[in-house]
């Protein structure tokens, strides 16, 4: 009788521990303070916007790869992201107060990006790459949010994700997040300015690893094989290893600006959008990304 | 009693030579279209390097490359894309099956490239700025087709 009592107690504490680990976390006080203390700069926020590539998922689905930057500021959602766990449909994140995120506060926005938690306290699916964004500086998130206020509001309602059970249970994501959320940068870096700036652009904002690093069975990034290339989640082909060791820093920079590979092949697929975003960055940012990627192979 | 089996065996043995034949024709088409792409890329090279400031602008070299690009994009697409040579059903190609489901869009995109190559032919010898402007449209034409119709690599 006593033994059963102990078992129940242990099971209950394990359950409580799991519940505690899986609960949607809030922003740390230091982050909140940094957000509040910062005077937001929407112009810098635009630079962050192109680096984070929000438009890659949230721009309209029928957008041509050659569409001008202005067309990429319409964050109506609707693009479909296929994965082994089901199909995610990017939501409307335009500043529309009803169908978008126009009624959010800066803290709501920062909690979504840095913690993967909605204003209602629900976990987001990691198709939203908060596992990378969590390394972003609060000041940059505040600037991005200031830029967000200048974007057009769109009324398109968001479509539901198409996921099979048990992936429909969002609370289960808490455990996944406990295992896969890590604020530390992956590559130690050499401390030199361009490489460290590049590391921030690649590992935090650009979230390149989300496609270019293979995932384990649970869908977490296998950081031991950082940027080693991976199967294309949308079915055909492979996402290549980066960088191609034969590419110089100059080659990478030119590719990110123009889409031309060193053999003068031209970028296609989802990377075509990424190049369009990268081309909007100041040249020094593309140079920093190239320096970081070269540092991975040197 | 074994008639259906015999018929099946006979049908298979009769079809085999045709299948092999189709495969050879497919291989030749894949090789030809990939060679055309390689030649196009080879001629984009000097122009893109000038546009990117990686080599000095040279009107003669640029014009020669643009002339080649023009000629290459006059190659008709008709025999390059036989049915059955899509990625997933044919070895060694990155051509998505969507090509054959949207042949009209696919040919429109090729027509866009042909137009951009013609503009480039008129612009390449006219200075670096003219070359850069025209190259944007050529690259854009490549990209919009690769975006929809080529498997990622």
The model's pTM: 0.85
Using the structure block, give the residue that is written with the tokens 């809030």.
A26
Mutate which: A239, A269, A271, vs B, most B CBs within 10 A: A269
Check whether residue A82 and residue A206 sit in a common domain.
no
Task: Show Cβ contacts of residue B30 under 8 Å, excluding neighbours closer than 6 positions.
Answer: B85, B90, B92, B93, B95
Task: Show Cβ contacts of residue B36 under 8 Å, excluding neighbours closer than 6 positions.
Answer: B72, B75, B80
Is B84 inside a domain boundary?
yes
Token pair for residue A95? 């500043």
Q: Which of A238, A250, A266 sits opposite B143 (nearest CB)?
A: A266
Check whether residue A36 and residue A161 sit in a common domain.
yes
A260 touches chain B (CB under 8 A): yes
Token pair for residue A19? 């519940």
Task: Say if residues A24 and A115 touch (Cβ distance below 8 Å).
Answer: yes
Q: What is the pLDDT of residue A235?
A: 66
Task: Say if residues A286 and A258 touch (Cβ distance below 8 Å).
Answer: no
Is A10 inside a domain boundary?
no
Check whether residue A86 and residue A177 sit in a common domain.
yes
Number of domains in chain A: 2
Residue A223 DSSP code: G
Check whether residue A178 and residue A64 sit in a common domain.
yes
Q: Which helix (H) or strand (E) holds A79?
A: none
Check whether residue A44 and residue A64 sit in a common domain.
yes
Q: What is the pLDDT of residue B20?
A: 54
Is B140 inside a domain boundary?
yes
Q: What is the pLDDT of residue B1?
A: 42
Sign of torsion over alpha carbons A171, A136, A145, A71: negative
Choose one of A167, A183, A199: the last residue of a domain.
Answer: A183
Is B136 inside a domain boundary?
yes
A62 touches chain B (CB under 8 A): no
Instruction: Give the residue ranges of chain A where pLDDT is below 50.
Output: none
Is A20 inside a domain boundary?
no
Check whether residue A178 and residue A53 sit in a common domain.
yes
Check whether residue A121 and residue A263 sit in a common domain.
no
* CATH label of the domain that carries residue A243: 1.10.760
Contact at CB, B152 and A65, closer than 8 angstroms = no
Check whether residue A196 and residue A269 sit in a common domain.
yes
Tally of residues, chain B: 153
Q: For B50-78, what is the mean pLDDT?
A: 95
Q: What is the pLDDT of residue B8?
A: 53
Mean pLDDT value across chain B: 88
Choose one of A144, A161, A183: the last residue of a domain.
Answer: A183
Alpha carbon separation from B17 to A220, A295, B5 (Å, rounded): 48, 53, 20
Is A12 inside a domain boundary?
no
Residue in chain A nearest B54 by alpha carbon? A250
Give the C-alpha separation, B99 to B90, whole Å: 14
ipTM reported for the complex, 2 dp: 0.72
Structure confidence at residue B121 as a pLDDT band (50, 70, 90): very high
Expressed as residue numbers, the domain containing B101 is 27-149
Check whether residue A130 and residue A242 sit in a common domain.
no
Q: What is the pLDDT of residues A238-255, one digit of tens each?
A: 899 999 999 999 999 999
Give the C-alpha separation, A124 to A281, whole Å: 28
Is A288 inside a domain boundary?
yes
Nearest C-alpha neighbor of A211 from the set A227, A194, A224 = A227
Expressed as residue numbers, the domain containing A287 is 190-298
Q: What is the pLDDT of residues B10-46, one digit of tens each?
A: 554 454 445 556 688 899 999 999 999 999 999 999 9
Q: What is the pLDDT of residues B36-61, one digit of tens each?
A: 999 999 999 999 999 988 899 999 99
Read out DSSP for A236-250?
A: SSEEPPSS-TT--HH
Check whether residue A147 and residue A274 sit in a common domain.
no
Looking at beta carbons, which residues of chain A come within 8 Å of B152? 232, 236-240, 268-271
Tally of residues, chain A: 298
Contact at CB, B88 and A236, closer than 8 angstroms = yes
Number of domains in chain B: 1
Choose one of A161, A183, A205: the last residue of a domain.
Answer: A183
Looking at beta carbons, which residues of chain A come within 8 Å of B109? none
Q: What is the pLDDT of residue B17?
A: 46
Contact at CB, B94 and A237, closer than 8 angstroms = yes
Contact at CB, A65 and B147, closer than 8 angstroms = yes
Check whether residue A130 and residue A269 sit in a common domain.
no
Give the C-alpha separation, A153 to A74, whole Å: 8
Check whether residue A85 and residue A194 sit in a common domain.
no
Give the C-alpha separation, A41 to A147, whole Å: 8
Looking at beta carbons, which residues of chain A come within 8 Å of B150? 268-269
């Amino acid at each position: 009788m006593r033994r059963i009592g102990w078992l129940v107690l242990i099971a209950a504490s394990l359950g409580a521990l799991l519940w505690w680990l899986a609960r949607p976390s809030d922003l740390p006080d230091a982050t909140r303070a940094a957000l509040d203390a910062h005077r937001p700069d929407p112009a810098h926020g635009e630079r962050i916007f192109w680096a984070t590539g929000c438009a890659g998922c949230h721009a309209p689905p029928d957008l041509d790869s050659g569409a001008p930057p202005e067309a990429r500021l319409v964050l109506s959602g609707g693009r479909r992201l296929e994965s082994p766990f089901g199909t995610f449909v990017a939501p409307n994140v335009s500043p529309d107060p009803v169908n978008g995120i126009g009624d959010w506060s800066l803290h709501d926005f920062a909690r979504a990006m840095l913690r993967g938690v909605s204003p209602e306290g629900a976990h987001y699916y990691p198709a939203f790459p908060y596992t990378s964004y969590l390394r972003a500086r609060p000041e940059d998130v505040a600037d991005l949010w200031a830029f967000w206020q200048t974007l057009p509001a769109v009324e398109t309602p968001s479509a539901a994700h198409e996921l099979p059970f048990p992936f429909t249970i969002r609370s289960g994501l808490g455990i996944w997040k406990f295992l896969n959320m890590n604020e530390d940068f992956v590559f130690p870096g050499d401390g030199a300015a361009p490489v460290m700036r590049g590391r921030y652009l690649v590992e935090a904002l650009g979230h390149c690893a989300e496609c270019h690093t293979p995932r384990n069975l649970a869908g977490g990034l296998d950081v031991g094989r950082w940027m080693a290339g991976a199967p294309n989640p949308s079915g055909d082909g492979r996402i290549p290893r980066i960088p191609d060791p034969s590419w110089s820093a100059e080659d990478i920079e030119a590719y990110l600006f123009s889409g031309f590979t060193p053999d003068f092949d031209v970028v296609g697929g989802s990377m075509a959008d990424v190049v369009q975003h990268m081309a909007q960055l100041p040249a020094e940012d593309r140079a920093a990304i190239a320096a970081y990627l070269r540092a991975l192979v040197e | 009693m074994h008639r259906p089996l015999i018929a099946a065996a006979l049908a298979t043995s009769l079809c085999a030579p045709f299948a092999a034949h189709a495969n050879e024709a497919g291989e030749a088409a894949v090789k030809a279209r990939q060679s055309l792409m390689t030649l196009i890329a080879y001629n984009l090279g000097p122009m893109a390097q000038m546009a990117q400031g990686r080599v000095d602008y040279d009107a003669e070299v640029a014009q020669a490359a643009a002339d080649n690009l023009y000629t290459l994009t006059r190659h008709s697409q008709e025999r390059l894309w036989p049915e059955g040579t899509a990625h997933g059903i044919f070895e060694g190609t990155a051509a998505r099956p969507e090509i054959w489901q949207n042949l009209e869009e696919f040919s429109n995109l090729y027509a866009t490239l042909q137009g951009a190559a013609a503009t480039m032919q008129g612009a390449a010898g006219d200075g670096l700025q003219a070359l850069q402007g025209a190259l944007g449209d050529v690259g854009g034409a490549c990209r919009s087709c690769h975006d929809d119709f080529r498997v990622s690599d």
